[in-house]
C-alpha cells in the first residue's frame, strides 16, 4: 500500500486522537482495534492527512469519528465500494476500511468478494463479534449454529460464513486474523496489512461484551494459537492457508494466513493512472484528442 513518501515531523498517538471519545460499551473489543490502528500508524509514521478511514454502519463503523485522520462514515455495507472509488481517484492516499461482520459479510457481502478479486490496495479490518450490536443483538453471518439471539431465540440454524476461507477463495492477496485482546500481535498485523501492496483482509475477533456471551475474551484466550509460533507454517502456501482457515473449536489460528506479492493492485494495473493520481490531472482533454473523438463520428 502506498504510504506517501513524505513523513510527518513526528506523528504521535495524541495526534491521532479523534474529536470525540469512543461511545462503545465499556470492555468492547473495538477499543483494542482502534488503539492498534493508532499504534500502527505511529510506527509507520504516515502523515494523518494522507490517511482515510472509511466505514459502513454499525458499532465498529463509528471508528472514523474516533481517530484524527480523514474519515468517511458511509452506508451500511458500502464502505468497500466507496473506498475503491476514492483509492482510484487518488491512489496516494492510505485507505483503511473498518466495519463489523454484519456490515461486511451480510449486507456488504457482494462488495467484499469483488473488492478482493480486484485487489484494491487497501486494508480492510472486519471487527468481528459474531453478533449485531447496534441493533441490540441479532444473529450475524458469523454467529455459530445454535447461538440464541433476539432474532433466533430458539437457536441459529444457519451455518456461519468463514471469512478467512472466503477471502482466500476470492483472491485476497493478504489474509490475516487478529484478536483485540492481543495488542502487540494485532498492531503488527495492521502494519503488515497497510504495507502490503494490494487488498489486505484482517478479520479481528472483537468481543461484544453486551450481546454475545458465547464468544468472550475468556472463550478465545485458551483457543487462539498464533500461526507465527509454528516455524513450519508457510504463509505463501495457499493450500496450507485454506487448511488452517478451516480450524475452529479447541484450536483457532490467528496471525497471517496468506500473502502473495506477485499480483499487481488494481490501480497499478490500469495504464490510465501511469501519469499519477486522477486528482492532479488537468480537467481538459487535449484538443488534438477531442478533435479525433468528433472526427470518428463524421
Partner 1 sequence: MKQTFAIAIGGAAGQGVATPGDIFAKMFSRRGLSLNAYNAYQSIIRGGHTLLTIRTGPEPVTNMGDRIDLLLPLNQDTMDRHLKLLRSGAACIYNADTIKPGAAAEGVQLCPLPVSELADISRNKVAQNTLAMGAGLNMMGIGFAALEEVLREQFKKKGEAVVEENVGVARAGYDYAAAHFTPFPNPLPRTDKRYAVLSGNIAMAMGGAAAGVKFYCAYPMSPSTGVLHWMAAHARKAGIMVRQVEDEIGVINMTIGAAHAGVRSMCATSGGGFALMSEGLGMSAMIETPVVVIDCQRAGPSTGVPTKTEQGDLWQMLGAAFGDYPRLIAAPLDIADCFQLIPEMFNLVDRFQCPGLVLCDLLLSEGRLGVDPKDLDFNPVIHRGELILPLDGKGGNGNGASATTASNGDYKRYKITESGISPRAVPGVPDHIHTVATDEHMEDGVLISDEFTNPIKRRAMMEKRMRKVAGIEAAVPPPTLRGPRVADVTLIGWGSTKGVIEEACELLNEEGISANQLQIRWLVPLHGEVILELLKDARHTIIVENNYSGQFARYLRSETSFVPDGNIRKYDGEPFMPHHIVEAVKEQLAGKTKLSVPMHEIMV
Residues near partner 1 (CB under 8 A) are: 18-20, 23, 47-50, 52-54, 57, 62, 64-65, 68-75, 78, 81-90, 92-93, 110-111, 113-114, 270-273, 275-285, 287, 289-290, 292-294, 297-298
Give the nearest distance from C-beta 273 to partner 1 in angstroms: 7
Supply 277's cell numbers. 493520481
Give the nearest distance from C-beta 66 to partner 1 in angstroms: 9
Residue 171, Ramachandran bin (φ over 0: left; ψ between -120 and 50: alpha; else beta): left
CB closer to partner 1, 63 vs 241: 63
User: Strand, coil or helix: what is 191?
Assistant: helix
Give the nearest distance from C-beta 27 to partner 1 in angstroms: 18
Instruction: Output DSSP code: residue 257.
Output: E
Give the nearest distance from C-beta 94 to partner 1 in angstroms: 10
Contact indicator for 263, 119 with CB cutoff of 8 Å? yes
Report the distance separating Cα 270 and Cα 276, nearest Å.
Answer: 11
CB closer to partner 1, 27 vs 292: 292
Contacts of 146 (CB under 8 A, 6+ apart): 155, 156
CB closer to partner 1, 236 vs 290: 290
Report the distance separating Cα 199 and Cα 17, nearest Å.
Answer: 26
Instruction: Output DSSP code: residue 259.
Output: E
Q: Which helix (H) or strand (E) holds 166?
A: helix 163-170
CB closer to partner 1, 79 vs 235: 79
CB closer to partner 1, 43 vs 92: 92
Give the nearest distance from C-beta 282 to partner 1 in angstroms: 5
Amino acid at each position: 500500500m502506498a504510504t506517501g513518501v513524505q513523513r510527518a515531523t513526528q506523528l504521535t498517538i495524541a495526534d491521532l486522537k479523534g474529536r470525540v471519545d469512543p461511545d462503545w460499551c465499556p470492555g468492547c473489543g473495538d477499543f483494542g482495534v482502534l488503539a492498534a490502528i493508532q499504534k500502527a500508524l505511529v510506527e509507520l509514521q504516515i502523515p494523518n492527512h494522507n490517511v482515510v478511514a472509511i466505514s459502513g454502519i454499525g458499532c465498529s463503523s463509528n471508528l472514523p469519528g474516533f481517530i484524527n485522520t480523514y474519515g468517511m462514515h458511509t452506508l451500511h455495507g458500502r464502505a468497500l465500494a466507496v473506498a475503491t472509488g476514492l483509492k482510484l481517484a487518488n491512489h496516494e492516499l492510505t485507505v483503511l476500511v473498518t466495519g463489523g461482520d454484519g456490515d461486511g459479510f451480510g449486507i456488504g457481502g457482494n462488495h467484499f468478494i469483488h473488492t478482493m478479486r480486484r485487489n484494491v490496495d487497501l486494508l480492510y479490518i472486519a471487527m468481528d463479534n459474531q453478533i449485531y450490536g447496534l441493533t441490540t443483538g441479532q444473529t450475524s453471518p458469523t454467529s455459530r449454529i445454535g447461538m440464541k439471539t433476539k432474532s433466533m431465540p430458539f437457536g441459529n440454524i444457519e451455518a456461519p460464513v468463514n471469512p478467512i476461507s472466503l477471502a482466500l477463495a476470492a483472491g485476497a492477496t493478504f489474509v490475516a486474523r487478529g484478536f483485540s485482546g492481543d495488542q502487540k500481535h494485532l498492531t503488527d498485523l495492521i502494519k503488515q496489512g497497510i504495507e502490503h501492496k494490494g487488498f489486505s483482509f484482517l478479520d479481528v475477533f472483537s468481543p461484544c461484551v453486551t450481546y454475545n456471551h458465547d464468544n468472550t475474551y475468556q472463550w478465545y484466550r485458551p483457543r487462539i494459537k498464533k500461526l507465527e509460533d509454528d516455524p513450519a507454517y508457510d504463509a505463501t502456501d495457499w493450500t496450507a492457508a485454506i487448511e488452517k482457515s478451516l480450524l475452529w473449536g479447541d484450536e483457532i489460528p490467528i496471525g497471517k494466513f496468506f500473502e502473495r506479492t506477485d499480483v499487481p493492485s488494481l490501480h497499478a494495473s490500469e495504464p490510465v493512472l501511469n501519469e499519477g493520481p486522477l486528482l492532479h490531472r488537468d480537467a481538459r482533454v487535449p484538443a488534438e484528442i477531442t478533435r479525433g473523438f468528433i472526427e470518428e463520428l463524421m
